[in-house]
C-alpha cells in the first residue's frame, strides 16, 4: 500500500503526527517541571489540590498529554502497536532535549548516545 499515492501521503501524515506527538511530549515535560517548581511538594490537602488543579502549567501538562494521546492513537492504529510504539519513541528524544535546554537538566555521554540510537532506530523503521 505504501507504493500508492495514498500510501505515500499517509506515510507523510504519520511522520507529521509523530513529530506533533514528540513536541507535545516535550511541552508536557516542561509544563510538569514548571508545575513542580511553582506548586511545591505534594500534600494531602484540599488547598494543595486546588493550587495544583488551577496552576497554568498543570493545565498545560494535562492538555498536552491528552492531545498527544489522541494523536498517538492514530499513529498506533496505522502502524500497529509494536511499530507505532517504536516510532513514537522519538518523543523521548524531544522531551530530553527540551528539558536539557529549557529546564537545565544535565545528560551524561551514555544518555546522549542512547538518544542518537533512538533517532537512528526511528529513521530505520520509518523507511520500511
Cβ–Cβ < 8 Å for 14, 2: no
Q: Which residues contact 49 (CB under 8 A, 6 or more apart)?
A: none
Please tell me the predicted confidence (pLDDT) of residue 8: 63
Q: Which residues of 94-117 are buried (b: 16+ CB within 10 A; e: fewer)?
A: bbbbbbeeeeeeeeeeeeeeebee
Residue 33, pLDDT score: 92
How do the pLDDT tens digits run along the chain, 128 residues long?
445 555 567 778 888 898 899 899 999 999 999 999 999 988 899 999 999 999 999 999 999 999 999 999 998 888 888 777 777 787 888 889 888 999 888 889 999 999 899 888 877 876 65
- Domain spans in the chain, listed from the N-terminal domain onward: 5-127
Amino acid at each position: 500500500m505504501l507504493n500508492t499515492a495514498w500510501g505515500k501521503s499517509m506515510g507523510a501524515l504519520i511522520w507529521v503526527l509523530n513529530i506533533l506527538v514528540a513536541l507535545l511530549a516535550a511541552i508536557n515535560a516542561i509544563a510538569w517541571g514548571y508545575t513542580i517548581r511553582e506548586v511545591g511538594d505534594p500534600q494531602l490537602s484540599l488547598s494543595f489540590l486546588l493550587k495544583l488543579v488551577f496552576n497554568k502549567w498543570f493545565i498545560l501538562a494535562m492538555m498536552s498529554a491528552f492531545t498527544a494521546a489522541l494523536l498517538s492513537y492514530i499513529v498506533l492504529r496505522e502502524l500497529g502497536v509494536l511499530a507505532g510504539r517504536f516510532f513514537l519513541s522519538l518523543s523521548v528524544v524531544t522531551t530530553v532535549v527540551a528539558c536539557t535546554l529549557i529546564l537545565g537538566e544535565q545528560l551524561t555521554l551514555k544518555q546522549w548516545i542512547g538518544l542518537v540510537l533512538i533517532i537512528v532506530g526511528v529513521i530505520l523503521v520509518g523507511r520500511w
